[in-house]
Amino acid sequence: MVLNRLFEQRSTSYQSIFAAGDDVVFGTLADTAIDSKTAFEVNAVYSAVALIANSISTLPLEAFVREAGQRQPYMPRPEWVSKPDVALPRTAFYNSVIVSLLIDGNVFVRVFTDTRGRVLNLVVLNPRSVIVTRNAKGLLNFQVEGESKPLTSSDVLFIPDVVRPGQVRGVSRVEALKENFGLALALEKFAAQFLGNGTNLAGVIEFPGTLTQEQAENLRENFDAKHRGWRRGHRTGILSGGASFKTTQVDPQASQNLEARRMAVEDVARAFNIPGHLLNIAGTMSYASVEANGLQFLQLTILPIVQKLEEVFSTLMTRYPNGENAFVKFNLTGLVRSDIQTRTAAYSTMVQMGAISLNEVRRLEDLPDIDDPAANNVRVPLANVNIEAADLIAEEKKIKMATTLVLAGYDPAESLSAVGIEPIGHTGVPSVQLQGVAQIDPANPKDVYEVD
């Protein structure tokens, strides 16, 4: 029964997520109809959504468990972590999740489980086919088109984007920003129709008298035959009989409304919180380095969305043994991966401070481990020691104090006792600071100082 329902449920892809035909169309002052499908006709909207969706969907997702305050890989890793939807690639699944979140402001993921409650399959639902309500206890119920009864939070994962106070569903960007998206779509259609309809007329020939239709056609054809085309564009024209040519050409920049269309792209960039340079808006580069710009994109655009996904999908880990402290996490390293010189300097600092070992550095660079136990040991800088060897520093300071006392003329044994050092044996040979000794007989070390 469960498996039949599992595979009868139609999966949702990146292209078909809003193709159910039941979307709400919003009219705009720019006389354009905006919904979740027509919004993608705006180049900037498509680029912004694709940029965010592709950036997140290609990130590795790992499962961890926190034990005694330390994060460890969760083993065995649930199958849904690597392939959430059995009918789609992992990247396509998360692509649909991000598209639903960015366009509709809500994500609904149907959870199919086995008899033990473990996840069999995850399917992204069309957000327009789901109605969210609260029951008498304040818990959420989901009425999904095609389902015979309301579903609960154990059956549906719900991720809202921006939620108004007192509401449950997230705010749809298409609905809230319909005027901005509608204006951008109107500008693109105007420019296309302006050029496609031939409005850009080269010029007209004015004739003082009245011409028959045949005479007018002959005049036009003769003039075009001598001056049409780029090869004849600079030839000198001659008109007789009082005729004159007047140009009606329109400035190409004005005809395409380039400045207005640029502002429309900037509006879309603000709507999706994307740095302007990532949508190829000239003059909007914020930082000088690629790494700094990538970090800005990560912090302002990617991280808020990723944390929402991690929080909700981590709840699925509670269905597995020892899953109360388990969670899933996207690996964001690839988005801020710096150049080789910067990475090398960072690795060198971390190795010198004893944070990571040489083999850990090689793993970060996808290099094989060095087959030597020393490569797995953390190196300690000379200025610091392991906390277990902290008493060595204290002993060293005591020895320096005892040395100072001895050099000042105090008895060596009493100097050691004064600083708390256990008595130790001595050869009896005076310090080399008093007299250099080239050879000493270990059996009779004092003979070099005895006088015949």
Task: Give 19-26 contacts, CB < 8 A, sequence gap 24+.
Answer: 20/126, 20/128, 20/129, 22/126, 22/128, 22/129, 23/128, 24/128, 24/175, 26/174, 26/175, 26/178, 26/182
Rounded to whole angstroms, how far apart are CA atoms 76 and 118?
A: 13
Place of tokens 């199919």: 112
pLDDT range class, residue 20, cuts 50, 70, 90? very low
What pLDDT is attached to residue 284?
63
Residue 347 identity: Y
452 or 325, which is more confident:
325
Please determine, for residue 177, whether its predicted confidence score (pLDDT) is greater than 50.
yes
Task: Determine contact, residues 98/17, Cβ cutoff 8 Å.
Answer: no
The DSSP code sequence of 358-385 is HHHHHHHTT-PPPSSGGGGSPP--TT--
Rounded to whole angstroms, how far apart are CA atoms 103 and 70?
A: 38
Rounded to whole angstroms, how far apart are CA atoms 125 and 117?
A: 20
Lowest mean pLDDT among 200-204, 326-330, 412-416: 200-204
What pLDDT is attached to residue 290?
61
- CA nearest to 317, candidates 65, 58, 14: 65
Lowest mean pLDDT among 119-123, 136-140, 183-187: 183-187
Rounded to whole angstroms, how far apart are CA atoms 144 and 153?
A: 12
Task: Determine contact, residues 162/171, Cβ cutoff 8 Å.
Answer: yes
What pLDDT is attached to residue 17?
47
Task: Give 175-178 contacts, CB < 8 A, sequence gap 24+.
Answer: 175/24, 175/26, 177/267, 177/271, 178/26, 178/28, 178/34
Q: Residue 193 burial by CB count (10 A; 0-12/13-18/19+): exposed, middle or buried? A: exposed
Give CA angle at 259 (254, 263), nearest 5°.
Answer: 150
How many residues appear in the chain? 452
Rounded to whole angstroms, how far apart are CA atoms 43 and 418?
A: 83
pLDDT range class, residue 9, cuts 50, 70, 90? very low
**Domain spans in the chain, listed from the N-terminal domain onward:** 2-179+300-330, 201-249, 387-449
299 or 155, which is more confident:
155
- Cross-strand pairs, 132: 142
Q: Which CATH number fits domain 2-179+300-330: 3.40.50.9100, 3.40.140.120, 3.30.70.890, 1.10.3720.10?
A: 3.40.140.120
The DSSP code sequence of 388-411 is GGHHHHHHHHHHHHHHHHHHTT--
What pLDDT is attached to residue 12?
41
What pLDDT is attached to residue 1?
45
For residue range 192-216, what is the model confidence (pLDDT) as tens digits? Answer: 666 555 545 567 777 787 878 887 8
What pLDDT is attached to residue 419?
85
What pLDDT is attached to residue 316?
95
| Helix segments in 197-320, DSSP class H | 213-227, 252-256, 258-271, 290-297, 303-313
Place of tokens 């270990």: 442
What pLDDT is attached to residue 38?
81
Place of tokens 């269309």: 261
For residue range 34-87, what is the model confidence (pLDDT) as tens digits? Answer: 777 888 888 888 899 999 999 999 999 999 998 888 888 899 999 999 999 999
What pLDDT is attached to residue 280?
76
Rounded to whole angstroms, how far apart are CA atoms 135 and 141?
A: 7
Q: At what angle do helices 43-57 and 258-271 cross, to 10 degrees?
A: 30
What pLDDT is attached to residue 7?
41
Task: Determine contact, residues 395/385, Cβ cutoff 8 Å.
Answer: no
Range 353-391 burial, b when 16+ CB lie within 10 A, else e? eeeebbbbbeeeeeeeeeeeeeeeeeeeeeeeeeeeeee
Mean pLDDT of the region 135-151: 91
**Ramachandran region of residue 13, left (φ > 0), alpha (ψ -120 to 50) or beta?**
beta
Rounded to whole angstroms, how far apart are CA atoms 286 and 295?
A: 11
Rounded to whole angstroms, how far apart are CA atoms 113 and 3?
A: 9
Q: Which CATH number fits domain 201-249: 3.30.1380, 1.20.120, 3.40.50, 3.30.1120?
A: 3.30.1120
What pLDDT is attached to residue 160?
95
For residue range 231-264, what is the model confidence (pLDDT) as tens digits? Answer: 666 677 777 777 787 765 555 555 556 677 777 7
For residue range 83-133, what is the model confidence (pLDDT) as tens digits? Answer: 999 999 999 999 999 999 999 999 999 999 998 889 999 999 999 999 999
The mean predicted confidence, pLDDT, of the chain is 79
Mean pLDDT of the region 315-342: 83
